[in-house]
Amino acid sequence: MTAKIISGAEIAGKIREDLKKEISELKEKHGLTPGLATILVGDDPASKIYVGQKKKACEYLGIYSKQVDLPSETTESALLSLIRELNKDAKIHGILVQLPLPEHINQQRVIYAIDPDKDVDGFHPVNVGKMVIGEKSLLPCTPHGILELLLSSGIQTQGAEVVIVGRSNIVGKPILNLMLQKRPAGNATVTICHTMTKDLAFHTKRADILIAAIGRPKAITRDMVKEGVVVIDVGVNRIGTNSEGKAILAGDVDFEAVKEKAAAITPVPGGVGPMTIVMLMKNTVEAAKRAEVRGQRSEVGSANLKVN
C-alpha cells in the first residue's frame, strides 16, 4: 500500500480563501478589521520564522497585525505590562506570545495574563477548561488544525483507535481531549504515550490513527505502525542545511518508509504546519466577531453577526 498524502497546504489554502472573503465582508458590512498582536521575546531562529509566517498570513488576509519583538533580557514584568496594554487595545482581538519564552520568564504567569477572549492560542486555563468539557472556546491551533485535516480528508474517527505520542500542553493533551469528545473528528478511543511509556511500539502498532508530536526526527519507524494506519506528523525538526543554507526539515515519522504501509500520511513540510497558521487566523476572526457582538449587545439593536 502506498499512502494518500494529506496535503495540509492545500486544505489550509481553501480555508484561507474562505477567510479572506469573510474578512473583506466584515470590513465592508460591519467596519470590523480583525487584529492580531504577536510577541516574540529573544531571537530563537525557529520562533522568528513562525512569527514571520503568522505576520505574512495576516497581511495576505487583511488582518491588522502588530508584531512586537523584544530582546531576550526583557523582564517578566515588562512583558506582563505589554500584555495588559494589548488586553485593553480595541484594535487587537488576538494576542499570541510565541513559545518557548526565555527561562527567566514564567510561561504560566504570561499565559494567565492574556484576556481569555483574546487568547487565540487557546492556552489560557479558562479556554483549556472549556475545551475539556466541550464548551465553545478558542481552540488551540495545532489540534484544531489536525481535526480539520481529518475531517477534510474524510477519515473516520468514530470508534477508531487513536494513539498520540507526546503529552505537551500545546498538542498532545488538547488533541487527546478533543478526539474523545462527541464532536466531528471525535468519538475515538484515545491513548496517549510519553517518555515513560513502557513499550511504545506496542501502542503505536495498535493505532488506526497515529499522531506523532514527539520533537525527534524520524522517531516513528516502519516497524512501529500497522498496515493501513493514518499518520498525522506534527514534528518539525531541522536535520541540516542544504547548499543554499536553507534548513532541511524532517517530521517525527520516517515518512519514506512509513508511507509504504500507511493508508494516509501528512508530509513535513506541508502537512500540519500550514493548518496551525490558518487556524490561528480563524481564531483571530472569531475573537473579533465575538468582541463585536459583545460590544453590540450593550447597544440598542442587536448584532447580526454570526459567531461560532
In the complex, least distance from residue 247 CB atom to ligand GUN, rounded to whole angstroms = 16
**What is the dihedral sign for C-alpha 83, 87, 89, 95?**
positive
- Cα gap 308→117, rounded to integer Å: 13
Exactly one of 54, 218, 259, 261 is catalytic; which is it?
A: 54
- Cα gap 308→294, rounded to integer Å: 13
In the complex, least distance from residue 199 CB atom to ligand GUN, rounded to whole angstroms = 29
How does DSSP assign 256-300, residue by residue? HHHTTT-SEE--SSSSHHHHHHHHHHHHHHHHHHHHHHHHHHTSS
Where along the sequence are the contacts to ligand GUN (CB under 6 A)? 96-99, 121, 141-142, 170, 276
In the complex, least distance from residue 215 CB atom to ligand GUN, rounded to whole angstroms = 10
The cell for 205 is 502498532
Exactly one of 115, 121, 208, 233 is catalytic; which is it?
A: 121
Name the residue number minimizing CB distance to ligand GUN: 99
Closer of 6 and 120 to ligand GUN (Cβ): 120
| SS3 state of residue 67 | strand
- Cα gap 183→135, rounded to integer Å: 11
- Cα gap 271→9, rounded to integer Å: 6
| SS3 state of residue 217 | coil
Exactly one of 98, 117, 119, 233 is catalytic; which is it?
A: 98
| SS3 state of residue 74 | coil
Catalytic status, residue 69: no
In the complex, least distance from residue 232 CB atom to ligand GUN, rounded to whole angstroms = 15
Catalytic status, residue 121: yes
In the complex, least distance from residue 30 CB atom to ligand GUN, rounded to whole angstroms = 28
What are the φ/ψ torsions at residue 95 (nearest 5 degrees)? -125, 125
Closer of 96 and 209 to ligand GUN (Cβ): 96
In the complex, least distance from residue 174 CB atom to ligand GUN, rounded to whole angstroms = 10
With beta carbons less than 8 A apart as the criterion, state whether 170 and 218 touch: no
Closer of 36 and 155 to ligand GUN (Cβ): 36
Helix (H) or strand (E) holding 209: strand 209-212
Closer of 98 and 152 to ligand GUN (Cβ): 98
- The count of other CB atoms within 10 Å of the CB of residue 3 is 20
Closer of 100 and 295 to ligand GUN (Cβ): 100
Catalytic status, residue 43: no
Closer of 127 and 276 to ligand GUN (Cβ): 276
Q: Catalytic residues, which ones?
A: 54, 98, 121
